[in-house]
Amino acid sequence: MSGRYEGKTVAVTGAGEGMGRAMALAFAREGAAVMACDVNAAGLEATAAQLGTASGSIASMIVDVRDEAAIEAFAARAAQPTGALDVMICNAGVKGDWGPLAQQPREQLDLVIDINLKGVVLSMKHALAHMIPARSGVIINLASVQSFRVGFPGAAFYTASKAAVVALTRAAALENGQFGIRAVGIAPGPIDTPMLRSGSPDWPPPIINDVPLGRIGHVDDIANAALWLASSEANYISGATLTIDGGWLAP
């Protein structure tokens, strides 16, 4: 490991499993002081336990991204080690129960929008409170290939929430470039996480047939991209959302 994030602070929401866990581990292995949050306490413990020996660290906090006071405290704690928040990764998300739009209960709409859209807004807002005075910072939002292509019937709320994340990323980039802050998105295709497995009785799921590279993505495919997007090598990238999908969106 290069230690390229030594001296940097990184906050990751939804780090109790899946891609959030992989990103928290990747940044800590590169030397960052990572602050991880999730609603799943056991998941957070497992994330920290997987770090082993590394030059960085993972501290964690139980936070529901729908709770603004908790997110505010989370961002403040993430900035504590150095007084600055270098990277905020807005990753927490839910799939919701998919079903025909005409029959979807209001509760599903509220759940998906409150977490996937409002949760990202709150996480960005309280990260910016630390980044703007420092005139520096990177926000990474987890969108989806479904931001760009609905793909499957029954996914209206999830798709809408993830399309909004792309727009929010661009809005944040527009407003905050003047402060030296970049906002970027990652749009994963099918990645092997508990979320994908929860919706896939068969494994590998049939979507694999529509992936030109012929495999389901690994969480490290996303974590490696996040490491690069947050780095100075990606210094001129802002407002863009990077598709990482084995080619699923290509046709």
Ligand X SMILES: NC(=O)c1ccc[n+]([C@@H]2O[C@H](COP(=O)([O-])OP(=O)(O)OC[C@H]3O[C@@H](n4cnc5c(N)ncnc54)[C@H](O)[C@@H]3O)[C@@H](O)[C@H]2O)c1
**Closer Cβ to ligand X, 66 or 170, answer by number:** 66
- Note whether 113 and 157 are within 8 A (CB): yes
**Cβ atoms of residues 179 and 131 within 8 Å:** yes
Minimum distance between the CB of residue 179 and ligand X, rounded to whole angstroms?
Answer: 25
Residues 228 and 2 sit within 8 Å (Cβ to Cβ)? no
32 in Cβ contact with 59 (< 8 Å): no
Give me the least distance between CB of 80 and ligand X, in Å please: 20
Residue closer to ligand X (CB basis): 2 or 62? 62
Least gap, CB of 145 to ligand X (angstroms): 6
Cβ nearer to ligand X, comparing 17 with 30 = 17
Q: Considering the complex, what minimum distance in angstroms separates the CB of residue 220 from ligand X?
A: 12
Query: Residues 27, 74, 157, 158: which is the catalytic one?
Result: 158
Judging by DSSP bridges, how do beta strands 9-13 and 57-62 pair with one another?
unpaired
Which one-letter DSSP state was computed for residue 31?
Answer: T
- Minimum Å distance from CB 188 to ligand X? 4
Nearer to ligand X by Cβ, of 5 and 248: the residue is 248
Distance CA(83)–CA(77), nearest Å, equals 9
Beta strand 137-142 with 33-38: parallel, antiparallel or unpaired? unpaired
236 is catalytic: no
User: Which helix (H) or strand (E) segment is 221 a member of?
Assistant: helix 219-229
Q: Contact, 27 vs 229, CB < 8 A?
A: no
Q: Which is nearer to ligand X, 56 or 119 (CB)?
A: 119
CA distances from 131 to 32, 59, 156, 163 (A): 17, 20, 33, 25
Beta carbons of 18 and 219 less than 8 angstroms apart: yes
Q: Which residue number, 14 or 56, has a Cβ lying nearer to ligand X?
A: 14
* Binding residues vs ligand X (CB under 6 A): 13-14, 16-20, 38-40, 43, 63-66, 91-94, 115, 119, 142, 144, 188, 190-191, 193-196
Closest approach, Cβ 83 to ligand X, in A, equals 25
Alpha-carbon gap, residue 158 to 15, rounded angstroms: 20
Parallel, antiparallel, or unpaired: how do β-strands 181-188 and 57-62 relate? Answer: unpaired
Q: List the catalytic residues.
A: 158
